């Protein structure tokens, strides 16, 4: 089922004044797709999710499930499955009882409920843990129980609130794949909230990048990465993060400290304009005939590639480049580099080129 948010807004009134947690959100999630809602902590992701779930009432705006406007519906009428950040499994019930809980509410016959619970448990790979209680499970297993509980009632929409944040790195990778697989198998429209850009990029059909309650960009992960709409998105996606080099227009030339920025762009800037040049570490190549002379501070080997830490003349902070490990570079020397690609942002972070 398609989920559409129109001008969705949520204000919390606090003693210090109102907080706009979510600000006129507009986007729609195509039926059967997995959308990642990505943004730093406190940007309103959970609030958005809880509004879709019906646990928060929107201050303004509408939520459509298919053609139904549901924003006045209580949560139990929406037919959604929700996985909480810390799972909220009932600690006194066994895995089986936890998964069956929603079915019992729907008055599904006992035998049928048992069968469906077992089926769902098998799907998420915890079929042999049915008799345990959540306290006897690892984080990853608990997380799968939570997914099974959310899926067992065949919801039309599945909402996941940072479901992997409590897992260790390896389990996170593994469970990520599994969520993707389960989502593909069931074809349920899914919204996946996370603050981890790598997670969002790898799992989502489409990502929605948010900051301060405002949507920054919507698109396919690769598109958003390759063509960020603004400096926030460019900085938020990618590890190591994009290099942002402050620049200033002097005598019609863009100067990065003492180095002239020498790429093709069809824009004219007035003298004194402040700009930001964004170059992803993998967009940098070492070339003896390169346009930019930089000073190499350090070289780090990271398996297949190596990281080059360098400075432009006059720069205080360092930049990072990822280059193939065959390229010989000595720390403490000056080398020439080239940009394969770069972005130009204005002072506020709006993308120009």
Ligand X SMILES: Nc1ncnc2c1ncn2[C@@H]1O[C@H](COP(=O)(O)OP(=O)(O)O)[C@@H](O)[C@H]1O
From candidates 12, 92, 263, 317, binder to ligand X by CB under 6 A: 12
Q: Is 194 in the site for Mg ion (CB under 5 A)?
A: no
Site for other proteins in 146-175 (CB under 8 A): 149, 153, 161
46 in contact with Mg ion (CB under 5 A): yes
The SS3 call for residue 278 is strand
Q: Which range of residues in 46-54, 129-137, 244-252, 308-316 is near Mg ion by CB under 5 A? A: 46-54
Q: Which stretch binds ligand X (CB under 6 A): 13-21, 127-135, 223-231, 265-273?
A: 13-21
DSSP secondary structure code for residue 242 in this structure:
P
Q: Smallest gap, in angstroms, from Cβ of residue 82 to ligand X?
A: 14
Say which residues have a Cβ less than 8 Å from residue 68's Cβ, sequence separation at least 6.
Answer: none
Measured between alpha carbons, how far is residue 313 from residues 48, 168, 261, 294, 330 in Å? 45, 41, 13, 6, 17
Distance, in Å, from the CA atom of 299 to the CA atom of 223, rounded to the nearest integer, reads 30
Residue 185's SS3 state is helix
Q: Which of the listed partners (Mg ion, other proteins, ligand X, none) does 39 bind, with a CB threshold of 5 to 8 Å by partner kind?
A: ligand X
User: From residue 15 to residue 44, what is the string marking binding to ligand X with x (rule CB under 6 A)?
Assistant: ----x-x-----------------x-xxxx
Of residues 71-110, those binding other proteins (CB under 8 A): 74-77, 80-82, 84-86, 88, 90-93, 101-102, 104-106
Residue closest to 244 by CA, chosen among 347, 163, 330, 144 = 347
Q: Which of 5, 8, 46, 321 binds ligand X (CB under 6 A)?
A: 46
- In the list other proteins, ligand X, Mg ion, none, the entry touching 115 (Cβ below 5 to 8 angstroms by class) is none
- Residue with smaller CB distance to Mg ion, 46 or 142: 46
Assess contact for 188 and 32: CB atoms under 8 A: yes
Q: Which residues pair with 14 in a beta bridge?
A: 17
Stretch that binds Mg ion, among 11-19, 41-49, 170-178, 214-222 (CB under 5 A): 41-49
Show contacts with other proteins in window 50-69 (CB under 8 A): 53-55
CA–CA distance, 2 with 277 (Å, rounded to integer): 38
Closer CB to ligand X, residue 20 or residue 173? 20
Burial class (CB in 10 A: 0-12, 13-18, 19+), 163: buried
Pick 43 or 113: Cβ nearer ligand X: 43
What does 88 interact with, of ligand X, Mg ion, other proteins, none (CB < 5 to 8 A by kind)? other proteins
Sites for other proteins among residues 276-335 (CB under 8 A): none
With contact defined as beta carbons under 8 Å apart, do 51 and 22 qualify?
yes
Assign 3-class secondary structure to 115-158.
Answer: HHHHHHHHHCCCHHHCCCCHHHCCHHHHHHHHHHHHHCCCCCEE
Q: In terms of CB distance, is 39 or 140 closer to ligand X?
A: 39
- Report what 19 binds from Mg ion, other proteins, ligand X, none; CB cut-off 5-8 Å by kind: ligand X
As a whole number of Å, the CA-based R_g of the chain is 24
In this complex, which beta carbon is closest to other proteins, that of residue 41 or of residue 251? 41
* For other proteins, the closer CB: 12 or 265: 12
Residue 52 binds ligand X, judged by CB under 6 A = no
Contacts of 8 (CB under 8 A, 6+ apart): 22, 24, 25, 26, 48, 51, 58, 60, 61, 62, 63
Q: What does the buried/exposed string (b/e) look like for 49-67 if buried means 16 or more CB atoms within 10 Å of the residue's CB? A: bbbbbbebebbebebbbee
Which residues bind to other proteins, rule: CB under 8 A?
41-42, 46-47, 53-55, 74-77, 80-82, 84-86, 88, 90-93, 101-102, 104-106, 149, 153, 161
Which residues bind to Mg ion, rule: CB under 5 A?
46
Which residues bind to ligand X, rule: CB under 6 A?
12, 14, 19, 21, 39, 41-47
């Amino acid at each position: 089922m398609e989920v559409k948010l129109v001008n969705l807004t949520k204000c919390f009134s606090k003693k210090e004044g109102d907080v706009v947690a979510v600000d006129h959100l507009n986007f729609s999630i195509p039926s059967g797709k997995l959308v990642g809602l990505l943004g730093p902590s406190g940007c309103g992701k959970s609030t958005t999710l809880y509004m879709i779930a019906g646990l928060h009432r929107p201050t303004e705006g509408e939520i459509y499930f298919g053609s139904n406007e549901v924003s006045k519906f209580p949560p139990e009428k929406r037919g959604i499955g929700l996985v909480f950040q810390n799972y909220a499994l009932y600690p006194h019930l066994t895995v089986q009882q936890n998964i069956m809980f929603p079915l019992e509410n729907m008055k599904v016959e006992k035998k049928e409920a048992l069968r469906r619970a077992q089926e769902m448990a098998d799907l998420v790979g915890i079929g042999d843990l049915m008799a345990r209680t959540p306290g006897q499970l690892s984080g990853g297993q608990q997380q799968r129980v939570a997914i099974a509980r959310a899926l067992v009632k065949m919801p039309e929409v599945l909402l996941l609130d940072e479901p992997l944040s409590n897992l260790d790195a390896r389990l996170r990778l593994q469970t990520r794949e599994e969520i993707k697989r389960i989502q593909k198998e069931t074809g349920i429209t899914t919204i996946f909230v996370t603050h981890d850009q790598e997670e969002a990029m790898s799992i989502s059909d489409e990502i929605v990048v948010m900051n301060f309650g405002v949507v920054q960009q919507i698109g396919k992960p690769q598109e958003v990465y390759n063509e960020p709409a603004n400096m926030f998105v460019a900085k938020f996606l990618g590890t190591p993060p994009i290099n942002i080099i402050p620049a200033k227009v002097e005598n019609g030339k863009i100067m990065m400290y003492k180095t002239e920025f020498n790429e093709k762009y069809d824009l004219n800037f007035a003298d004194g304009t402040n700009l930001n040049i964004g170059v992803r570490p993998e967009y940098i190549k070492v070339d003896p005939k390169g346009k930019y002379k930089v000073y190499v501070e350090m070289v780090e080997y990271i398996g297949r590639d190596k990281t080059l830490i360098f400075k432009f003349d006059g720069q205080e902070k360092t930049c990072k480049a990822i280059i193939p490990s065959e390229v010989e570079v000595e720390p403490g020397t000056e080398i020439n580099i080239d940009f394969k690609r770069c972005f130009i942002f204005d002072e506020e972070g709006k993308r120009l080129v």
